[in-house]
A and B are shown apart, each in its own frame.
Chain A
Amino acid sequence: MPLYLLHFAQAHNDFRLPELASVAELLGISYTLPEKDEDRDPTRPYMVVELETEEHAKMLARRCILIKAAYEFYAQGPSYEVLHEANRKCEPLWRKYVEDTSFKFLVTAYSHKIPMERQRDAIETFAYMGFLGKIDMKNPEITMVCFEEYKDRTQTPRQRNEGDGDFRQIFFGRLIEEGSARPLVRHFDVKKRLFYGNTSMEAEVSLLMANQSLASSPTFRYLANPGKLVYDPFMGTGSMAYPSAHFGAMVFGSDIDGRQMRGKQQTPGVVRAASQYGLASRIMDLAVFDITRNPLRCGELFDAILTDPPYGVRAGAKRLGRKKSLPEYKKELSRQHRLAPDPEDRPYIPPTKPYELSHLVTDLVLFARYVLKPGGRLVFFLPTVTDEYEEVDVQTMLCNGMEVIANSLQDFGSWGRRLVTIKKTTAEKYYPPTFEDREMVTKDEHVPAHKDFREKYFQGFRKVEIETPQVAFREG
């Protein structure tokens, strides 16, 4: 298969390959990654992949948030000599442009600025290609680009031009398509949104999540609607919903606390933000409920669940219930009152209790298995403690028929959040989960690093000695 050079944004490195895999699956594209680990290292900006056709390279560049541009690959090498030798060998690929094609030629670098003089010199070394067409810097028919890849030197102060020519690798190819999905990051910029909250997910990450869900249109026409239905059970201000709706899905959202979805005006905030993007009719509905006490009449409804569960730092997870249950006589009083409410009363707000993160996540996976269609995907963020995280943590939350297919880290230092993609691989029918309160884990069970995340966060992730419980003195 022919080779293509992909230029990636240096952001969310760990999400790069999962995104490529998901988008390729959505679009029905097969691809082969480079064999050597160093050539597919996601901290490097360039990667050469095999694809069936140039059209496929275009399709990927139009849909992957992390692709800046796609090129037909001609040659690479650690030095210009090696590069030119390889480039001479692949003459059949570029010979057709020699006669009469207007062109532009660029020499540029990653993590470095090449002095003008040497850029000219470098371009001169390609003279043997003998292009006869007109040089056109504005509207060329083809653009040839030579990239010098330097080691990432951000945050290290250096002299102007220091280390010039000290590159790791050079890549050379012909531009096929500038990435057109990447500008969506600005289109959905939270700061420009009519309605958002302090826990709204940044646009780039919510776009990446939408791509992980596969619940979107395989075509690129903005209005093409593939008839998919996506659900966010922790809707909040709806950040996950807009990119999915943009890619063509209908979105249903719920939250235990309606205030985030509503905002302060009559038209709910989520609807106002969706209207700003022309997507209001793709918000199927919003509802206030607790997923552990949900009114859904049946399962197998959704193509994907896309959500950012509250993990207790800025917004704590809650479920219906009371931390300490009331004595019977008070329960009865409350029941009587509910049956004959005083019309002067403010709207009734039922009591809630904290929902520990590891329980929430296990329940979320069970719930997803019930409400997802077979083959559907659950895509969500799991915050975790960097030092304590183990691969097995993610396994502890799974149940039969739910398999992890991607797990990417967004690293914030002592903690990070993992974008977990789980696929429902079973077609078996399940009863709705009961969401019973769980007992404390027994000794033999693995304790995942995300358990009690809130407490760990506020302790600054210090290792805390487990104190032996002390016998409390009784009064009197």
Chain B
Amino acid sequence: MVRLITHNLLACHAKDCNTNNFPLEFKDIQLEIREAEFNSDFLKGFMPKLEWKALVDTARQLGDTSLPLEQPEMVDDGFLKSLHHVLLEIHVEEGSMTCPNCKHVYPILNGIPNMLLAEHEIG
């Protein structure tokens, strides 16, 4: 787990870390590819919520170049298949995510990210 769909929703939320706090940078990761059921309604419904550039950049870092740099206006089946694969089938199982701004490290253990903040990072 930590699929890219989730990664695309998570920003650093430490106190006073409000700019350049997204996307979190993956480090020392182990990937797994797991097949997921394809659902075009789900994908289309989710597209307006995506930060496209962050998604494409992260996918490319992980070695997947199937997505276009710009979010297309018209979606076809081929595009949806690629989006499905990137969002739902790539799982980051181990490693960490680092905030580009404050450098907080969020560790990932057995596919579950620990997004808790330390005492000095909360208000």
Please list the residues of chain A having a beta carbon within 8 angstroms of any beta carbon in chain B. Answer: 223, 225-229, 250, 252, 254, 256, 258, 261-262, 266-268, 271, 281-290, 293-298, 300-301, 320-322, 326, 331, 334-335, 338, 347-351
A295-B12 contact, Cβ under 8 Å, with A285-B2, A321-B122: yes
B33 to chain A, nearest CB (A): 12
Complex CA gap A296/B119 in Å reads 19
Task: Specify which chain A residues have a CB less than 8 angstroms from the CB of B45 in the assembled complex.
Answer: 227
What residue of chain A has the Cβ atom nearest to residue B120's Cβ?
A335
Q: Are B51 and A297 interface neighbours, CB within 8 A? A: yes
What residue of chain B has the Cβ atom nearest to residue A297's Cβ?
B11
Q: Are B10 and A322 interface neighbours, CB within 8 A? A: no
> Which of chain B's residues 35-79 have a Cβ closer than 8 Å to chain A?
35-37, 39, 41-46, 49, 51
A288-B119 contact, Cβ under 8 Å, with A225-B42, A295-B10, A297-B11: no
What residue of chain A has the Cβ atom nearest to residue B106's Cβ?
A295
Q: Are A320 and B112 interface neighbours, CB within 8 A? A: no
Task: Specify which chain B residues have a CB less than 8 angstroms from the CB of A298 in the assembled complex.
Answer: 9, 49
A307 to chain B, nearest CB (A): 18
29 CB contacts below 8 A, A to B, read A223-B37, A225-B41, A225-B42, A227-B39, A228-B42, A252-B6, A256-B116, A266-B110, A268-B1, A271-B1, A271-B111, A281-B37, A284-B3, A284-B88, A285-B1, A285-B5, A287-B10, A288-B113, A288-B115, A289-B115, A293-B117, A297-B9, A301-B49, A320-B122, A322-B119, A331-B120, A335-B119, A335-B120, A349-B116
Since A284-B88, A293-B13, A297-B8 are in contact, a sample of 6 more A-B pairs with Cβ atoms closer than 8 Å, ordered by chain A residue number, is: A297-B10, A320-B119, A334-B120, A347-B114, A349-B116, A350-B117
What residue of chain B has the Cβ atom nearest to residue A339's Cβ?
B120
Complex CA gap A351/B9 in Å reads 25
The answer to whether B22 has its CB under 8 Å from any CB of chain A is: yes
B12 to chain A, nearest CB (A): 7
Complex CA gap A347/B112 in Å reads 14
Complex CA gap A283/B114 in Å reads 17
A350-B118 contact, Cβ under 8 Å, with A287-B113, A294-B13: yes
Task: Specify which chain B residues have a CB less than 8 angstroms from the CB of A295 in the assembled complex.
Answer: 9-13, 115
**Residue among A229, A252, A268, A350 with most chain B CB within 10 A:** A350
Complex CA gap A282/B37 in Å reads 8
Q: Are B116 and A281 interface neighbours, CB within 8 A? A: no
Cross-chain contact of A286 among B22, B41, B43, B112 (Cβ < 8 A): B112
Complex CA gap A289/B39 in Å reads 28
Q: Are B41 and A227 interface neighbours, CB within 8 A? A: yes
B56 to chain A, nearest CB (A): 16
Task: Specify which chain B residues have a CB less than 8 angstroms from the CB of A347 in the assembled complex.
Answer: 107, 114
